[in-house]
Chain A
Amino acid sequence: MENTGQEIILSIKNVSKSFPGVKALDQVSFDVRRGTVHGIVGENGAGKSTLMKILSGVYQKDLGTIIFDGEEIKNTSPIQSMKRGLSIIYQELNLVNTMSVGENIFLGRFGEMGGMRGVHAKAKELLKSIGSNIDTYKMVSELSVSEKQMVEIAKALSFDSKLIIMDEPSSSLTADEMKELVKIIHHLKDQGISIIYISHKLDEIFEFCSIVTIMRDGHVIDTKPISEITRAEMIAKMVGRPIENEYPERPNCVGETLMEVRSINTKKLHNISFKLRKGEILGLVGLVGAGRTEIVRAIFGADKVKGHEILIDGKPVKIRNPRDAKKAGIALVPEDRKLQGLVLPFSVESNISMANLDKITRFGFLDSSAEKDMAEKHVKALGVKTPSIRTKVRSLSGGNQQKCIVGRWMETNPRILILDEPTRGIDVGAKYEIYLLMKKIAESGGSIILISSELPEVLNMSNRVLTVCDGRITGEFDPKVASADQIMEKALEFGRKDLEHERAN
């Protein structure tokens, strides 16, 4: 422990990795010291994930050496590296939902723990060591995202990990949950455990990382102590050019009411009513699971909802399924790009045309040249980086994939565009382009409903903010006037009442 911050736990030297057609990593070298939080930043496609997958043994490197804890790592597998003390916590947490917390932590090792009683006792101890008192008998499906993350961390600790890699751990956490995570990270650091922290949120990197490695196009651009680099420098190194602003100027062209939503009631939502004006960007703020996504899904006809009313231009419209919504001029860019947005094994072209097939259909037959023109138009207009429109959308980076979905809906000429977490897992440059696009849509008279877990994004882009908590709309704010604290307070209102209620009992 006296060597904290000195001793090198992981040394990566000249590691290269190629996939057919792409050099994913090119001569990557850097060291991670014991007991430090080492940040890694870079745009999508910079090679971060590939590097992490090589470290954890999912991929094998082509060239170079990796020395972990004094031992060279060669041809390892995920389970071997875990046993060596190198754990990785993926963005999409890998837990078995139908099993209990304790069982998940010691999955496959019940025998070593001396049966289920031992499992739960040891699990409880581990969770306690990171300051959590989750009931180890609880089903993982009942946990919140941040609780699940704690279970993942406890699992990593159960292998006596010396290095824990966290891949965008904060992407679905709210501010309060984030504070918990930061606490745990500091705690781990104090125990001499090193952490590789991958994030797109630069605030976090500056908050608790001591060293940062910046990657771009498969190269390490720089590794620097955090105290020696500014935010602007970091962004410039990530994107390879300076960016003046993270957000464009907020559009300011709010007109009359375009859509009115009256009393959506479901098991999860309670009396949701609100108005959306022309040219407005309306932000929905709330915890993950507060009901934000359910509200827009109900409007879009993706979930079966009865008894509510939707008026567009003062006239009631019946929306029973996404097709009706499309006809009514509503578009939805869903929160999970890969599962709900894209048909991954299909081409960029068919992913763009899929909401507009009726436009290119004559007497039941598809006009393939019209389809090609349509795809090329949007690829060009949105600057989708793809070798060709016939390329499978799977092989594009996150930002470019998102642009394909946006392009698909732009072709439908929507009056109301719903964006659910449009910038999740997207790099700084692509984010800015999505913001610009939102601005352009609003300025041309379209309305946008924006859902985002990144509060600064909502505050900087919206004309109006609604807070959602526990399936209810709890407040309405003008983001130009209201502070982030005021808004978060409303967004947490019901949750807090529940807590107090529980405590009183």
Chain B
Amino acid sequence: MAERIWNMKEQINSKKIIQTIFRDYLVLAAIALLVIVTSIVEPKFLTAGNMTNIMRQFGPLIMVALGMTFVIIGGFIDLSVSGILSLVAVVTISLIEPLGQVGALIVGLCLGAFCGYLNSVLILACGAMKQAEALFITYGMSTVYGAFALIYSGGRTKQMSWIKADTSIFKAIGTGTVGFLSVSFIMFLVCLLILYIFQNKTYMGRTIYLTGGNKTAAELAGIPIKRSITLIYTISGLMTALGAIVLFSRVTAASPVLGKGYETNAILAVVVGGTTLIGGNGSVLRTVLGTTLVILLSNCMNLLGVSVYMQYMMRGAILVLAIWLDSRKEL
């Protein structure tokens, strides 16, 4: 009997290792393949200019995707990030003149966190404990936030160059570098470190995993699942606000439809990274890999002159493929 258990342990471990390799290194292999093929076909790919470009594109999406990771691990989903991103961008940019840079930044981040918090309040009020219900509620809220952005801005795009006050912080976020790293990339590294520790080492991080793993069991064990739900949406809102700031700083303008498409790209990045949609499983590190793949893919396709429509198709196909691969893993 003892021997049998011992054997079981060995084999489970080796099986797990194979699974992990398959899951993590498949993304890495895809990234490597993409880099190799593109750099052979299109020499422009490996230039310093393009690398900086990739790093800058990486900034906004990774912020949103990191927040989305928590929502998906908690067993929910957040489609409102595109609305929040647009709203935060137009509000923040408009406040630089009256409040100064720091004031605008703080208000922008608070607004994002508040929008996320509001999502969770509505989800709890509706008793929406299923991912599908949360999907529709946050879709509805995305429209609301998006409409607010349009109303607030009057439908106009605001350029940073029109602002008379000091915009040095935003310029730094948008184009500044420290050594060979862009400022936005350093912001990402700091966020990643904080979120990684939060996710793996703290009480609240654990409650999010448990909520996603089995809400009923977690609640019956005295885990504050409502607090976890509030937390995941607030984190998602806050990270989206950060994404909004990085994005409008880079493009030096805030349009009221700036966030369009970010919800699908963020979900794509999370799922491609290997965080399962069922909840209870995944990590922010996976999301970094997933985001890298998504960004590289669009960069490569742009360089190779693939049409935008074709790119949309590829993105959708990859999302479906990722979910399919994911469902195979559990067997």
Asked if B216 lies at the interface with its beta carbon under 8 angstroms from chain A, I say yes
Complex A-B: 29 CB contacts under 8 Å: A20-B11, A20-B12, A21-B7, A21-B10, A22-B4, A22-B8, A322-B219, A322-B222, A323-B224, A334-B217, A339-B217, A340-B216, A340-B217, A342-B217, A343-B213, A344-B213, A345-B213, A346-B209, A346-B210, A350-B206, A355-B223, A361-B202, A364-B203, A365-B201, A368-B201, A385-B5, A387-B12, A391-B12, A395-B12
Asked if B240 lies at the interface with its beta carbon under 8 angstroms from chain A, I say no
Chain A 348-377 against B: per-residue CB contact (8 Å), 1 yes, 0 no? 001000110110010011101000000000
Tell me if B218 and A354 are in contact (CB < 8 A).
yes
A319 to chain B, nearest CB (A): 11
Partner of A346, one of B207, B222, B280: B280
**Neighbouring B residues of A355 by C-beta, 8 Å:** 221-223
Cα separation A334 to B216 with both chains bound (whole Å): 10
Cα separation A77 to B5 with both chains bound (whole Å): 31
B313 to chain A, nearest CB (A): 33
**Neighbouring B residues of A20 by C-beta, 8 Å:** 11-12, 15
Cα separation A321 to B10 with both chains bound (whole Å): 41
Tell me if A387 and B5 are in contact (CB < 8 A).
yes
**Neighbouring A residues of B12 by C-beta, 8 Å:** 20-21, 387, 391, 395
Name the CB-closest residue of A to B198: A364
Cα separation A342 to B209 with both chains bound (whole Å): 13
**Neighbouring A residues of B180 by C-beta, 8 Å:** none
B255 to chain A, nearest CB (A): 39
A115 to chain B, nearest CB (A): 33
Asked if B9 lies at the interface with its beta carbon under 8 angstroms from chain A, I say yes
**Neighbouring B residues of A490 by C-beta, 8 Å:** none
Q: What 6 A-B pairs are tightest by C-beta distance, nearest first?
A: A387-B9, A21-B11, A343-B213, A326-B222, A21-B8, A355-B221
Name the CB-closest residue of B to A326: B222
Cα separation A126 to B209 with both chains bound (whole Å): 48
**Neighbouring A residues of B206 by C-beta, 8 Å:** 350, 357, 366
B201 to chain A, nearest CB (A): 5
Tell me if B221 and A322 are in contact (CB < 8 A).
yes
Asked if A408 lies at the interface with its beta carbon under 8 angstroms from chain B, I say yes
A60 to chain B, nearest CB (A): 13
Residues 178-227 of B at the A interface (beta carbon under 8 Å): 201-204, 206-207, 209-210, 213-214, 216-224
Tell me if B210 and A387 are in contact (CB < 8 A).
no
Name the CB-closest residue of A to B18: A20
Cα separation A7 to B7 with both chains bound (whole Å): 41
Chain B 128-144 against A: per-residue CB contact (8 Å), 1 yes, 0 no? 00000000000000000
Asked if B6 lies at the interface with its beta carbon under 8 angstroms from chain A, I say yes
Tell me if B201 and A366 are in contact (CB < 8 A).
yes
Partner of B203, one of A366, A368, A385, A388: A366
Asked if A341 lies at the interface with its beta carbon under 8 angstroms from chain B, I say yes
Asked if B299 lies at the interface with its beta carbon under 8 angstroms from chain A, I say no
Contacts A20-B15, A339-B216 given; indicate if A364 touches B202 (C-beta within 8 A).
Answer: yes
Give me the interface of A with B, judged by CB distance under 8 Å: 20-23, 217, 300, 302, 321-323, 325-326, 332, 334, 339-346, 350, 354-355, 357-358, 361, 364-366, 368, 385, 387-388, 391, 395, 408
A460 to chain B, nearest CB (A): 27
B234 to chain A, nearest CB (A): 16
Tell me if A364 and B221 are in contact (CB < 8 A).
no
Cα separation A387 to B8 with both chains bound (whole Å): 7
Cα separation A321 to B221 with both chains bound (whole Å): 10
Tell me if B221 and A354 are in contact (CB < 8 A).
yes
**Neighbouring B residues of A325 by C-beta, 8 Å:** 222
Tell me if A343 and B280 are in contact (CB < 8 A).
yes
Cα separation A334 to B218 with both chains bound (whole Å): 12
Cα separation A365 to B216 with both chains bound (whole Å): 24
Tell me if B15 and A387 are in contact (CB < 8 A).
no
Name the CB-closest residue of B to A323: B222
Asked if B264 lies at the interface with its beta carbon under 8 angstroms from chain A, I say no
Apart from A332-B220, A339-B217, A344-B214, what are 9 other A-B pairs with CB-CB below 8 Å? A21-B12, A302-B219, A321-B219, A323-B222, A334-B217, A354-B218, A357-B206, A387-B6, A387-B12
Tell me if A343 and B202 are in contact (CB < 8 A).
no
Chain B 276-293 against A: per-residue CB contact (8 Å), 1 yes, 0 no? 000011000000000000
Cα separation A479 to B210 with both chains bound (whole Å): 40
Most chain A CB within 10 A, of B4, B207, B281, is at B4
Cα separation A345 to B201 with both chains bound (whole Å): 19
A117 to chain B, nearest CB (A): 36
Cα separation A413 to B207 with both chains bound (whole Å): 21
Cα separation A172 to B275 with both chains bound (whole Å): 37
Cα separation A22 to B11 with both chains bound (whole Å): 9
Residues 48-65 of B at the A interface (beta carbon under 8 Å): none
**Neighbouring A residues of B210 by C-beta, 8 Å:** 343, 346, 350, 354
**Neighbouring A residues of B217 by C-beta, 8 Å:** 334, 339-343, 354
Cα separation A406 to B172 with both chains bound (whole Å): 56
A210 to chain B, nearest CB (A): 32
B279 to chain A, nearest CB (A): 10
A438 to chain B, nearest CB (A): 20
**Neighbouring B residues of A22 by C-beta, 8 Å:** 4, 8
Tell me if B220 and A341 are in contact (CB < 8 A).
yes
Cα separation A376 to B11 with both chains bound (whole Å): 22
**Neighbouring A residues of B8 by C-beta, 8 Å:** 21-22, 387
B23 to chain A, nearest CB (A): 14
**Neighbouring A residues of B214 by C-beta, 8 Å:** 339, 342-344
Tell me if B203 and A21 are in contact (CB < 8 A).
no
A238 to chain B, nearest CB (A): 15
Cα separation A151 to B209 with both chains bound (whole Å): 39
Tell me if B213 and A346 are in contact (CB < 8 A).
yes
**Neighbouring B residues of A23 by C-beta, 8 Å:** 4
Cα separation A365 to B201 with both chains bound (whole Å): 6
Residues 145-184 of B at the A interface (beta carbon under 8 Å): none
Cα separation A214 to B319 with both chains bound (whole Å): 49
Cα separation A355 to B15 with both chains bound (whole Å): 30
A299 to chain B, nearest CB (A): 13
Cα separation A300 to B281 with both chains bound (whole Å): 29
Chain B 1-32 against A: per-residue CB contact (8 Å), 1 yes, 0 no? 10011111111100100000000000000000
Tell me if B220 and A357 are in contact (CB < 8 A).
no
**Neighbouring B residues of A408 by C-beta, 8 Å:** 221
Tell me if A364 and B222 are in contact (CB < 8 A).
no
Cα separation A343 to B213 with both chains bound (whole Å): 6
**Neighbouring B residues of A387 by C-beta, 8 Å:** 5-6, 8-9, 12
Cα separation A365 to B202 with both chains bound (whole Å): 4
Partner of A345, one of B203, B207, B281: B281
